[in-house]
A and B are shown apart, each in its own frame.
Chain A
Amino acid sequence: MAIELAVEARGLVKNFKETKALRGIDLAVPRGSILGVLGPNGAGKTTAVRILATLLRPDGGAATVGGFDVERHPAEVRKRIGLTGQYASVDEELTGRENLLMIAALLNLRSADAKVRARELLEWFDLGDAADRTLKTYSGGMRRRLDLAASLTGHPEVVFLDEPTTGLDPAKREDMWDVVRGIVANGTSVLLTTQYLEEADALADDIVVINHGEVIAHDTADRLKRVVGSQTLRVRPADPAQAPLVHEILARVATDGAPIDEHRPGEYSVPVPGDAVLTDVVASLRAQGVDVTELSLQLPSLDEVFFTLTGERQRQPATDGEAA
Chain B
Amino acid sequence: MTTADVTREVTPIPAGPLDLLRHSWVLAKRSLVKTWRTPEGLIDVTLAPIMFTLLFTFIFGGAIAGSTSEYLVFLIPGLIGQNIAFSSVGIGIQLNSDMEKGIFDRFRSLPISRISPLLGAALGDIVRYVLLIGIMVGTGSVLGYRITTDPLSFLAGCLLAILFALSLAWAPMLVGLVARSERAVQGIVFMTLFPLTFASNAFVDPSTMPSWLEAFSNANPLSHLIESLRALWSGTGEWQGPVTSTLVWCAILVAIFAPLAIRAYNRKT
Q: Cβ of B12 and Cβ of A186 under 8 Å apart?
A: no
Asked whether any CB of chain A lies closer than 8 Å to the CB of B210, the reply is no
Residues of A near B180 (CB, < 8 A) are: none
A-B contact pairs, 6 of them (CB 8 A): A16-B269, A55-B109, A89-B102, A106-B26, A107-B110, A116-B8
Q: Please measure, in the bound complex, the distance between the C-alpha atom of A103 and the C-alpha atom of B110, giving whole angstroms.
A: 8
CA distance A79 to B7 in the complex (A): 17
Asked if residues A102 and B30 are in contact (CB atoms below 8 Å), the reply is yes
Question: In the complex the two chains form, is A91's CB within 8 Å of B7's CB?
Answer: no
In the assembled complex, B66 has its CB within 8 A of some CB on chain A: no
By size class, the interface of chain A is: 35 or more
The answer, among B3, B19, B27, B111, for a CB contact under 8 Å with A78, is: B111
CB neighbours (8 Å) of B123 from chain A are none
Known: A88-B102, A89-B102, A134-B37. A107 touches B111 (CB 8 A): yes
Residue of A whose beta carbon sits closest to that of B102: A89
Closest to B2 in A: A178
Interface of B is mostly: loop
User: Chain A residues near B268 (CB, 8 Å)?
Assistant: 55-57
- A120 proximity list for chain B (CB < 8 A): 5-6
Q: Is there contact, CB below 8 Å, between A93 and B34? A: yes
Do residues A103 and B106 form an inter-chain contact, with CB atoms below 8 A?
yes
| Smallest beta-carbon distance A143→chain B, Å | 11
B51 interface residue (CB < 8 Å to A): no
On chain A, the residues within 8 Å of B37 by CB distance are 93, 134
The answer on a CB contact under 8 Å between B5 and A124 is yes
Q: In the complex the two chains form, is B4's CB within 8 Å of A186's CB?
A: yes
A179 at the binding interface (Cβ < 8 Å): yes
Interface residues of B in 1-57 (CB under 8 A from A): 1-8, 10-15, 19, 22-23, 26-27, 29-30, 33-34, 37-38
Report yes or no: B4 in contact with A107, Cβ–Cβ below 8 A.
no
- Seen from chain A, the residues whose Cβ lies within 8 Å of a Cβ on chain B are 16, 53-57, 75, 78-79, 81-83, 85, 87-94, 98, 102-103, 105-110, 113, 116-117, 120, 123-126, 134, 150, 152, 155, 175, 178-179, 182-183, 185-186
Q: Is B205 located at the chain interface by the 8 A CB criterion?
A: no
- Among the listed B1, B19, B106, which residue makes an inter-chain contact with A125, where contact means beta carbons less than 8 Å apart? B1
**With A108-B15, A185-B4, A186-B5 already in contact, 19 other A-B pairs whose C-beta atoms are closer than 8 Å:** A55-B109, A75-B111, A87-B101, A87-B102, A89-B104, A90-B106, A91-B34, A93-B33, A94-B30, A94-B33, A102-B27, A106-B23, A106-B107, A113-B8, A126-B1, A134-B37, A155-B5, A175-B1, A186-B4
Task: Find residues 80-136 in chain B having any chain A CB closer than 8 Å to their own CB.
Answer: 101-112, 116
Residue among B19, B38, B105 with max Cβ neighbours from chain A (10 Å)? B105
Q: Is the CB of B12 within 8 A of A108?
A: yes
Q: Beyond A125-B1, A185-B4, is A109–B110 a contact (Cβ under 8 Å)?
A: no
Nearest-neighbor residue (CB-CB) of A88 within chain B: B102
CA distance A92 to B103 in the complex (A): 10
Does B26 contact A105, Cβ atoms closer than 8 Å?
A: yes
| CB proximity of B172 to chain A, nearest CB, Å | 20
Report chain A residues within 8 Å CB of B1.
124-126, 175, 178-179, 182
Interface centre among B2, B5, B33, B34, by most chain A C-beta atoms within 10 angstroms, is: B5
A175 to B1, CA, bound (A): 8
CA distance A90 to B106 in the complex (A): 8
A83 touches B105 (CB 8 A): yes
A123/B101 in contact, CB under 8 A: no
Instruction: Say whether B103 contacts A183, CB under 8 Å.
Output: no
Chain A residues in 8 Å Cβ range of B109: 53-55, 78, 81-83
B111's contact among A79, A88, A117, by CB below 8 Å, is which? A79
Kindly identify which residue among B5, B19, B106, B107 contacts A183, using a CB–CB cutoff of 8 Å. B5
A110 adjacent to B4 (CB under 8 Å): no
Q: In the bound complex, do residue A89 and residue B105 qualify as a contact, i.e. CB atoms below 8 Å apart?
A: yes
Q: Tell me whether A89 and B111 are in contact in the complex, defined as CB-CB below 8 angstroms, given that A106-B26, A126-B1, A182-B4 are known contacts.
A: no
A312 to B129 CA separation, bound complex (whole angstroms): 60
Which residues of A lie under 8 Å from residue B107 when comparing CB positions? Answer: 106
Q: Which of B3, B38, B116 is A93 in contact with, Cβ under 8 Å?
A: B38
